[in-house]
Amino acid sequence: MTVSEYWWLIAGMTVATFVSRYPSLWYFSRRPAPNWLKSLLDYLPSATLSAVTAPLVFSPNLGAVEQWPVWLGTVSAIGCAMRQLPPLVSILIAFAVYFGAKLLM
Amino acid sequence: MANSASRAKRLIRRQAKQATLDILPMLIGSGPFGIIFAVIANNAGLSFWQSQGFSLFVFAGSAQFVGINLLSAGVATGAIWLATYFINLRHLLYGASLASFARPLSQRWLLPLSFWLTDETFATVIARFEKAHLGVWAKWYWLFASIAMYLNWQLWCAAGYWLGDLLPGAENWGLEFAMVATFVVIIVSQITSIGRLIGVLAAAVISVTLALPYNLGMIAAALIGVIVGAWIDHRQVSQ
């Protein structure tokens, strides 16, 4: 790939990303969302983040990563968060469990 | 007059502090993700600035990963653009959620906030917006969280490129689990009703089982999760 081909690729990806982000921000910053939409938006953050994260936990194509350590780490993250530990502490515990399990396996 | 200006400055500084503090877990959690991206870019034969160009201009973690993989596989440029758009479509949902809290926004605000919108900023900012009514300060909070995430991503990706020289194969260590842990913690903290819980579970199951190209299954899963969650809570209230 030549240098100009590379920058062409980057420019297009930049535009593609921007046009996926801008329109709804623009639209909803100008007028309030109707009430029915507002009540749906209430469920959007948790559901979307769940849809983004679940494939990382369950997809078999994480390559070299074994599934069991990922599952154990995920369960500990859920446990820590349910106990309302500070986010950073929960993440570090989950990461430790994950790496511990990886080393043992 | 001078007094109110200094009060505004103080309040803006407070937002900056709060935003940086709130997004800190994301800054750390996304680190391994950035490192792995740059290690892969390095191994694919990209120069430092070519690798960093992805992070500086595209600034979208998962699209960068797909982009670099398709690039190595020799996929046509136009197809990579299209894939980038589809992978990032979930941001349309984020924008709808966030904008309604921070209205009104002028173009001056919309452009940078759109460019910097990511999963991580969304998760952090929406959590704060749901907890506290920030009014005119909301956009400042959002802006500082975005800037912190952007600078942080640049640092991790630069470090990753350098690490790729030192430690070939670092992308196989499974460091990306940090991102999983970070998002799981955020999701659990957002589950405040039975509807949200079922919505989260439905979205997870569907996004894993519904195999559509370009992450479209993920977007469908999110929308179904939203509808199921809202429906369940609505039913509970009306009973």
Tens-digit pLDDT profile for residues A12-47: 999 999 999 999 999 998 888 888 888 888 898 899
pLDDT digits (tens, 9 = 90+) for B126-169: 999 988 888 889 999 999 999 999 999 999 999 999 988 887 77
Please list, in sequence order, all residues whose beta carbon lies within 8 angstroms of the beta carbon of residue A1, skipping any fewer than 6 positions away.
Answer: A9, B71
Q: What is the pLDDT of residues A35-94, one digit of tens each?
A: 888 888 889 889 988 998 898 888 655 554 568 889 999 999 999 999 999 988 999 999
Model confidence at B83, in pLDDT bands (50, 70, 90)? confident
Is residue B26 very low, low, confident or very high in pLDDT (cuts 50, 70, 90)?
Answer: very high
Check if B221 contacts A (Cβ < 8 Å): yes
Interface of B with A in 148-167 (CB under 8 A): none
Cis bond leading into A45, ω under 30°?
A: no
Q: Can you tell me the ipTM of this complex?
A: 0.86
Query: Global pTM?
Result: 0.84
CA distance B63 to B69: 10
Residues 11-30 of A with CB under 8 A from B: 11-30
Sign of CA dihedral B152, B157, B163, B167: positive
pLDDT at site B13: 96
Considering only residues 32 to 51 of chain B, which have any Cβ-Cβ distance to chain A shorter than 8 Å?
46, 50
**Quick check: B98 and A41 in contact, CB under 8 A?**
no
Q: Which of B40, B26, B5, B8 is nearest to B163 (CA)?
A: B40
- Return the HEC string of B59-88: CCHHHHHHHHHHHHCCCCHHHHHHHHHHHC
Q: What is the pLDDT of residues B162-217, one digit of tens each?
A: 988 887 777 777 777 888 898 899 899 889 999 999 999 999 999 999 878 777 88
Give the minimum alpha-carbon distance from A28 to chain B in angstroms, rounded to a whole number: 6
d(Cα A49, Cα A72) in Å, to the nearest integer? 20
CA-CA distance, B82 to B187, in Å (whole number)?
Answer: 29
Among partner residues B104, B187, B190, which is closest to A29 by beta-carbon distance?
Answer: B104
CB–CB of A95 and B178 under 8 A? yes
Which residues of chain B make contact with A11, given a CB cutoff of 8 A? 57
User: Do the Cβ atoms of B31 and B178 come closer than 8 Å?
Assistant: yes
Q: Give B-chain residues touching A67 at CB under 8 angstroms.
A: none
Give the per-residue pLDDT at A34.
Answer: 86
